[in-house]
């Protein structure tokens, strides 16, 4: 059984993951209308992943005697000054999500809820990967600069991007 404190904290994370899915969906649309098919597909896939993150939390809350709250979401940014700005926002957002997961882990320990603590380890590992991917992409974008040819190649190759992290040792 979840304590009220844990239930509220998990519900707040459900909202964050749902908002993440919307944020990346908006990025996918912006990239799509700019003709950047690879980046757009990458963002659509990111958006789907965030929905999975949300659903995993929803199931966990309901299975443990809580009630997952499906709430109104903040509207995401729908336009960006540049590809670089868009990926900077993605990176900043993932850092924010990591901080939120860390806070949840902290609360689970305070509440001595070891089942939730155990459940959250998957998210801890996932955030290491998500931040690593975002950082790798930003490095590449900075390298490309204003080179149109470089952007063309990046858009072509982004879907095959592999980042291996020490946490999981699995290529993405």
List of residues contacting ligand FEO (CB under 6 A): 17, 20, 50, 53, 94, 97, 130
CA distances from 119 to 26, 91, 99, 129, 144 (A): 29, 24, 17, 17, 39
Comparing CB distances to ligand FEO, the nearer of 83 and 101 is 101
In angstroms, what is the minimal distance from the CB of 121 to ligand FEO? 14
In angstroms, what is the minimal distance from the CB of 17 to ligand FEO? 5
Residue nearest to ligand FEO (CB): 53
Comparing CB distances to ligand FEO, the nearer of 7 and 130 is 130
Comparing CB distances to ligand FEO, the nearer of 18 and 36 is 18
Comparing CB distances to ligand FEO, the nearer of 138 and 151 is 138
In angstroms, what is the minimal distance from the CB of 70 to ligand FEO? 16
In angstroms, what is the minimal distance from the CB of 54 to ligand FEO? 8
Q: Residues near 2 by Cβ (< 8 Å), separated by ≥ 6?
A: 10, 61, 64, 65, 66, 113, 116
CB 68 within 8 A of CB 7: no
Distance between CA atoms of 72 and 160, rounded to whole angstroms?
34
CB 41 within 8 A of CB 25: no
């Amino acid at each position: 059984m979840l304590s009220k404190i844990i239930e509220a904290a998990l519900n707040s994370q459900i909202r964050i993951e749902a908002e993440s899915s919307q944020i990346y969906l908006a990025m996918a649309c912006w990239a799509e209308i700019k003709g950047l098919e690879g980046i757009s597909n990458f963002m659509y896939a990111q958006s789907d992943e965030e929905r999975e993150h949300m659903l995993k939390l929803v199931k966990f809350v309901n299975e443990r005697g809580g009630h997952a709250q499906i709430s109104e979401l903040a509207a995401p940014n729908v336009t960006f000054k540049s590809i670089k700005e868009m990926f900077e926002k993605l990176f900043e957002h993932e850092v924010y999500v990591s901080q939120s997961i860390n806070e949840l882990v902290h609360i689970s320990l305070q509440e001595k809820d070891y089942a939730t603590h155990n459940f959250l380890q998957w998210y801890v590992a996932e955030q290491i990967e998500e931040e690593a991917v975002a950082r790798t992409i930003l490095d590449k974008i900075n390298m490309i600069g204003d080179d149109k040819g470089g952007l063309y190649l990046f858009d072509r190759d982004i879907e095959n991007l592999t980042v291996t992290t020490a946490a999981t040792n699995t290529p993405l």
